[in-house]
Chains A and B, each alone.
Chain A
Amino acid sequence: MNEAAKILQEYKGPKLRIMEVCGTHTHEIFKLGIRGLLSPDIELISGPGCPVCVTAADYIDEACYLAREKNCIITTFGDLVKVPGQKTSVSKERADGASVNIVYSPQDAALMAEKNPDREVVFLSVGFETTTPSDVLAVKYAMDKGIKNFSILTANKTMPKAYEAMASATDCYLYPGHVHAITGTKDCYDMLAKGTSGVIAGFTGPELLTALAVCVKKSQEGEPFLVNCYPRVVKDEGSPAAIKLVDEFMEPCDALWRGIGDIPMSGVKLRSKYSEFDARVKFDIPDMREEYKTPCRCGDVLQGKIKSYECPLFGKACTPDHPVGACMVSDEGACSAYYMYGGLI
């Protein structure tokens, strides 16, 4: 057995809570069976880093409103289609005749607008620092080409304020490598200054095992720490080009995280000078926010308060075929990962 796996298996000591923030980390950890290799004194908490899982119900309602009332062509990444809104979902609207197209990149959505000049095309822009630059590029493309029938419905989120909001739920963050490939390491150092430990982790089996083993070893030293275990991709300065691009088009805003609530300044939206590409402004979408009542406990799962299988709906009323909560929709959602891979851990 390799050294890292041995450290993880043989750890004995105070309970160590490690929150993997990124949905891809959650998925890979399950897929590689890493949980089964851990000492019982190590607890992995699946945090809020799956973009689909933290997309608020009223956002889905806004998308459905655009499809139904404004006859827009909705373009989206596939996972979002099945996420339940307050009353409906994009997939239900599609079954009722709405135009919904799954795309693999925001650019494809802009191209669709170019090819369908007589229809309004809206891209559902959700995601973190990793995907926001490509959303912005689609807007830039539309702007440069003079495409007037393209806009994006933003629910883009940023991690730093979420790190602060969730810090008490974890002893150590497994920071999302690809987010910090864009933003650099500054936000992690800011958290370190506030006493929160973390390691920046890659996504392969050896990278994940190494990062987790570093969490364990450094925790035993007793001081807050930050280690970049993904230096081949994450540089301190991040990607200046991506940062500049996003900053030019987007500005910080408050954001509602499904199951967690409002986190001030944890999102970005298009700056007002680009509002012709902002679907919310362009179509004057009415306020859809209302108190969202659901027995689903995704919020508690995302905050590490319960495990997926402790939710009364898990595997019964809520399955990947009939998801009640967003965490069951995406492959990167904690509940979906537990449902598909769980049982051995």
Chain B
Amino acid sequence: MDERITLNHGSGGHKTSELIADIFKKNLDNEYFTADDAAVMPAPEGRIVMSTDGFIVSPWEFPGGNIGKLSVCGTVNDIACMGARPLYLTCSYVIEEGFAVADLVRIAEAMGETARKAGVKIVAGDTKVAGKGQVDGLFITTAGVGVIENDVSLSGSYAKPGDSIIVTGDVGRHGCAILLARDEYGIEADVTSDCAPLADAALALIKAVPETHVIRDSTRGGVGTVLYEICDQSNVGIEIVSDSVPVDPAVKGVTGLLGLEPLYLACEGRFVVIVPSEFEEKAMEILRSVESTKDSVVIGKVVSDHQGKVVMKTPVGGMTFLPPPGKELLPRIC
């Protein structure tokens, strides 16, 4: 195998076949993984869910993961948010000429490992090579299919006044890890991305609490953006207690130094879950029993006041608005 990716690897000829056999098939193989133009799988029973997501994170590797792991988690979690069991993924690579083959192997390994962990099969893919400087390293797009096996219906528009709001772990860790990995600020801190597949937690939750109203994964814009989206979609207000929002001490330190709001830093392994308050206890019990959501915390509630706004109770007892999302904090975070 060559040391570097060349334009030949994207030509569709024997170099492409070599790449597929030695790297992708080796790491991603399963009974549906195809060498044909499209993969053929049995149709599942229930409603089909589809989603797609592109990944351009810079740097492509960071503490806690790499672009391969991220590209599986992103699509798997999007599907899981609808209450669906993720089944199949496709992946499309655009690789920059000169990219190290050893690095591509690491990315494919991470994809394979994460897919197995998430219980999803990667069934088809595509590889293109772009000239030097035309892309930065490599970009990955994944698309996924899942199935809703029961009559659960979840949506950001279902939040009702009185509902409890749960976040499934500390916030802002992925964004902070990327920020530090770029080494632009001369800050050193031990922060690992929270990037993780969450389908098992979502499925356990909706099985135990089918009354769940909303599951939303908080990615690029962080938990703050998700809360504002839900306010808009459901025509409600949201009240959170700022002290109850879990933030890793290192993340708190870095964001304090740089003047960033952790609620607006990206997560890649956190759900915002909204359930009727009478199911709060049950939902918390289930979420805390699953490894990826074991640190779930209730951070606030849905209210009928101040529609479209997120209000925070501050540590000194004051009330303030969470400033609405807007500023691009960090480009190329996922």
Contact = CB atoms under 8 A, between A and B. Distances in A.
Contact of A31 (B311, B314, B317): B314
Contacts of A32: 314-316, 318, 320
A32 B320 CA distance: 6
Contact of A205 (B312, B316, B324): B316
Given A104-B185, A331-B259, A344-B311, A36 B318 contact: yes
A103 to B, nearest CB: 10
Contacts of B312: 33
A206 B318 CA distance: 12
B12 interface: no
Interface in B179-212: 185-186
B326 interface: yes
B316 A344 contact: no
Contact of A340 (B313, B316, B321): B321
A88 to B, nearest CB: 22
A35 B324 CA distance: 19
A33 B309 contact: no
A300 B11 CA distance: 66
B309 A343 contact: yes
Nearest to B327: A320
A31 B316 contact: no
B319 interface: yes
Given A104-B185, A331-B259, A343-B309, A5 B317 contact: yes
A331 B306 CA distance: 23
Nearest to A32: B314
Contacts of B131: none
Contacts of B323: 340-341
B326 A33 contact: no
A31 B315 CA distance: 10
A33 B316 contact: yes
A343 B324 CA distance: 13
B318 A34 contact: yes
Contact of A341 (B306, B315, B316, B320): B320
A234 B309 CA distance: 38
Interface residues of B, number: 21
B321 A343 contact: yes
Contacts of B309: 343
Contact of A321 (B259, B314, B320, B326): B326
A233 interface: no
A30 interface: yes
B2 to A, nearest CB: 34
A35 B185 CA distance: 34
A66 to B, nearest CB: 24
B259 to A, nearest CB: 7
B314 A33 contact: yes
A241 interface: no
Contact of B316 (A209, A331, A342, A343): A209
A341 B318 contact: no
A1 interface: yes
A100 B168 CA distance: 40
A37 B313 CA distance: 12
Given A320-B326, A321-B326, A343-B309, A205 B321 contact: no
* SS class, residues of chain B in contact with chain A: loop
Interface residues of A, number: 23
Contacts of B316: 5, 32-34, 37, 205-206, 208-209
A30 B317 contact: no
B321 A344 contact: yes
A34 B324 CA distance: 19
A36 B318 CA distance: 6
Name the residue in B258, B313, B315, B321 with the highest tally of chain A Cβ atoms < 10 Å from its Cβ. B321
Given A320-B326, A343-B309, A37 B321 contact: no
A37 B320 contact: no
B141 to A, nearest CB: 29
Contacts of A34: 316, 318
A233 to B, nearest CB: 16
Contacts of A344: 306, 311, 319-321
A344 B324 CA distance: 14
A342 B315 CA distance: 18
Nearest to B261: A31
Contacts of A340: 321, 323-324
Interface in B280-331: 306, 309, 311-321, 323-324, 326-327
Residue of A1, A31, A104, A342 with highest tally of chain B CB at under 10 A: A31
B318 A33 contact: yes
A331 B186 CA distance: 23
Interface in A16-39: 30-37
B326 A31 contact: no
Given A320-B326, A343-B309, A33 B320 contact: yes
Contacts of B314: 31-33, 205
B326 A37 contact: no
Contact of A37 (B258, B259, B306, B318): B318
B142 to A, nearest CB: 33
B25 to A, nearest CB: 45
Contacts of A206: 316
B245 to A, nearest CB: 14
Given A1-B317, A30-B320, A341-B321, 7 more contacts: A33-B316, A33-B318, A320-B327, A331-B259, A340-B323, A342-B321, A343-B321
Interface of A: 1, 5, 30-37, 104, 205-206, 208-209, 320-321, 331, 340-344
8 contacts: A30-B320, A32-B314, A33-B318, A331-B259, A340-B323, A340-B324, A344-B306, A344-B311
The 6 A-B residue pairs with the shortest CB-CB distance in the complex, in nearest-first order: A33-B318, A33-B320, A340-B323, A205-B316, A32-B314, A33-B319
